[in-house]
Chain A
């Protein structure tokens, strides 16, 4: 089968899955709503509770889940291709926690000045992830043979511990209410209650996906190792920088919306590779679509399983992802 046909089939398949979850998720919840009443525009919005629940609570939450899932899954693919290691993800490398530190700083100290049209929280989250990624990059450069799984995971543990400690330190400056809010957010929570965080992260999201589209083929070549990729005509340094930059942008955007939700970046790329093969031109779009559908699905479970209590979605992804990660670790030689 030609690549065009495989590409079309992949987009259609995973796109249909995402569409189904996007339609289904906002309808379901602890309070039953009727779609007919939601779109009954004869009733004023202020009196239409169904429409309020749909448009103010559930739709933004669903869209947030889709954005965050797509970003984390695609960032996972990029980190794995770049570091040539299927266990590299924004979460395991400590990049999510770095982004979280940036975001927590912005939230706690109420930074409101944006940079270049990007508002403060996503910008700070991006800065945090960029710092973490710079450390990973320096580490990878220092080791000519690339990062072994051991070094990679140890570095991730160290970075996570360090950035978590910094987050706790910042918490000392926060009021009790703020602390509760950030703690819940740190567990990974999609309860955004407005479109504002999604819109604020939109510019970085678009930039990240634009670079991802260009990266797909270079990532294929990087699987051969940097020397072979270079002799095939790839500008390796530029590809690596593009990958680090875009993965930081994506992690920053995702964390600014939903907090450092773990394991999406490892489960999804792995499943997608089993389904469509390792070609990044298929893996990247498929992971983005599947990641979006997956996180929306997880969030649906999170807010219905103990209804009316709504759990942070990070708990659900950890429950699925933890055992999955261990299984991968055991299975790998």
Chain B
């Protein structure tokens, strides 16, 4: 389980970006972190991934603080998918996906057949195996995002008998790994948004990977996430099962927008933003 307990953090000590955040991600869950721009979503994701450290409170993986893991040990359990990926050089899709295997290899170790198999499987799972030899830069936005998700998947596959299972384990290895995605669909067209949402759901169902998504897209959160945490100016306003946490009142409180919520015939919840709330400001 990945857990944040009363976490405080600021890039400058005097300006806290996160103020007392508590959140738990159980194995196999899909959790959404929702909030308007600048509410601290991306920062929270960085802390959950262990690339930033809380100034107060603690983030633990299976009970052990993230600081106790080596960077590589942590990377073998958690992978981050950024909003966009720009490469400095013309790598192929296979090379980009293989970068996910970095934390599994020693300093001068070369990827072996088992690593290539893991990468091919991850590409296959994201439907990008046919693109394997294409230069990454020539792909569409949706294809790129799927390749980066494949790299993240390849990153959290721990092979039996591999060094990754023998070292760095104060924590019990009961989880199948965590994918942390930062606004994964923000720069994508509608069709790609649906495609990524379906892919994430399938990955969770088939591989039991836990997924944490930061997003300001209410529709995506409502259809994909089982639990959500609504955050505003670095504080959690509501946290719980999506149906309970994502209410008209909360949306007005966090986004300053009047919205209606329906249940569609497909069973999906639909959120329709109507107008800016009177006074025009969140929680006014």
Contact = CB atoms under 8 A, between A and B. Distances in A.
Interface of A: 3-4, 80-81, 84-86, 213-214, 217, 220-225, 227-228, 230-235, 273, 277-279, 281
A272 to B, nearest CB: 11
A201 B171 CA distance: 49
Given A273-B90, A278-B89, A233 B103 contact: yes
A303 B90 CA distance: 37
Interface string B18-60: 0000000000000000000000000000100101000000000
A277 B89 CA distance: 9
B61 interface: no
24 contacts: A4-B110, A84-B88, A86-B89, A213-B108, A214-B107, A217-B105, A217-B107, A221-B99, A223-B91, A224-B96, A225-B86, A227-B46, A227-B51, A228-B82, A231-B79, A231-B80, A232-B103, A233-B102, A235-B71, A277-B90, A277-B91, A277-B92, A278-B91, A279-B91
Interface residues of B, number: 32
B274 interface: no
A233 B95 contact: no
B187 interface: no
B111 A3 contact: yes
Given A228-B80, A228-B82, A231-B51, 15 more contacts: A84-B88, A214-B108, A217-B107, A221-B102, A223-B87, A224-B85, A224-B99, A225-B82, A228-B85, A230-B51, A231-B79, A232-B99, A233-B71, A233-B75, A234-B102
A273 B85 CA distance: 21
B232 interface: no
Nearest to A238: B71
A103 B107 CA distance: 35
A81 B91 CA distance: 13
Contacts of A213: 108
Contacts of B90: 273, 277-278
B110 A232 contact: no
B155 interface: yes
Contacts of B184: none
B88 A230 contact: no
Contacts of B74: 233
Contacts of B72: 233
B76 interface: yes
B85 A217 contact: no
A227 B82 CA distance: 9
A273 B87 contact: no
B102 A81 contact: no
B95 A231 contact: no
Contacts of B111: 3
B74 to A, nearest CB: 7
Given A230-B51, A230-B71, A232-B103, A224 B110 contact: no
B155 to A, nearest CB: 6
A230 B80 CA distance: 10
A234 B82 contact: no
B102 A217 contact: yes
Contacts of B95: 220, 277-279
Contacts of A85: 88
Contacts of B80: 227-228, 231
Choose among B87, B89, B103, B111 the residue with the greatest number of A CB atoms under 10 Å from its CB. B89
A231 B87 CA distance: 16
Interface in B137-158: 155
Nearest to B103: A233
B100 interface: yes
A220 B74 CA distance: 20
Nearest to B84: A225
A238 to B, nearest CB: 10
Contacts of A223: 87-89, 91
A266 to B, nearest CB: 14
Nearest to B79: A231
A73 to B, nearest CB: 16
Nearest to A279: B95
A224 B155 contact: no
Nearest to B109: A217
B183 to A, nearest CB: 13
A80 B88 CA distance: 9
